[in-house]
Chains A and B, each alone.
Chain A
């Protein structure tokens, strides 16, 4: 049951992305930016948290989930450190994902060459 919810929530978010790709002139880069920003705004409005509680990884793995982590981080940062936290909170919360992507990205780019 848990995995069914994950599948439906995650699948639906990706399906919205596909709809935007096919029906608008947005490129993947635009959609990723839009989804991350939507995740931030929806989390700030308190709409995304219930989706995470219901869909687990279905809501955190797609890019709006990255925005969710950013927004949660910045709100925690402000709570703990005041206005200074507005500068640091989002990046602190997302540092693991960004660090992993840059480190593995660099290693793979060095090791492999493009195909075809």
Chain B
């Protein structure tokens, strides 16, 4: 019998100690750390290009190209998907995840040919992103134009 509050509390603590950490908590922490680190890499690149005399906009552009290149290369080598299994959204949400979503199916469906395999499957995920991004931006543009 757990009669006193103290005993209940002790029991609660014991349960928390013995039971594994909920995967949700673990997943969120890992996503935070991996995603944050990818952003720090981006900032290091931006600062490097600004030091080299670029303006902020060009530095962001150069940084995007390098991150996309690295993500595409690591996807080709099979490293990015291993990171994805571990990091979840931490590797999906940054722009590197967008690049991964292009390379991964393009490689996977190469056997279906270069037009209907590589060319078409590249946009399995990137396609919807571009469609909805473009359409919603158009409406933002129209609203900006009207008011």
**A interface residues (Cβ-Cβ under 8 A, vs B):** 2-3, 6-15, 17-23, 28-29, 31-33, 35-37, 40-41, 44, 55-58, 60-63, 65-67, 70-71, 73-75, 77-79, 82-83, 85-87, 89-91, 94, 96-98, 100-102, 104-116
Contacts and interface: CB of A to CB of B under 8 A. Distances in A.
A6 B40 contact: yes
Number of contact residues on B: which range applies? 35 or more
A114 B133 contact: no
A106 B118 contact: yes
Given A70-B133, A100-B64, A115-B78, A61 B89 contact: no
B92 A32 contact: yes
A55 B35 CA distance: 13
B93 A110 contact: no
B132 A85 contact: no
Interface string B76-118: 1110010000001110111111110111001110100000001
A2 B87 CA distance: 24
Contacts of A116: 78
Main secondary structure of the interface of A (DSSP, over half): helix
Nearest to A10: B39
Nearest to A93: B137
Contacts of A89: 137, 141
Among B63, B65, B129: residue with most chain A CB under 10 A: B129
Contacts of A29: 101, 124-125, 128-129
- The 9 residue pairs across chains A and B that have the minimum distance between CB atoms: A14-B35, A10-B39, A86-B141, A11-B36, A112-B76, A17-B89, A90-B137, A57-B42, A109-B106
B141 A78 contact: yes
B10 to A, nearest CB: 30
A101 B43 contact: no
B142 to A, nearest CB: 5
16 contacts: A6-B42, A10-B36, A17-B31, A18-B28, A18-B90, A20-B89, A22-B27, A22-B28, A31-B92, A78-B145, A90-B133, A94-B133, A105-B102, A108-B72, A109-B106, A111-B76
A3 B32 CA distance: 14
Nearest to A5: B43
B142 A86 contact: yes
A82 B82 CA distance: 46
A60 B60 contact: yes
Contacts of B129: 29, 32-33, 36, 63, 66
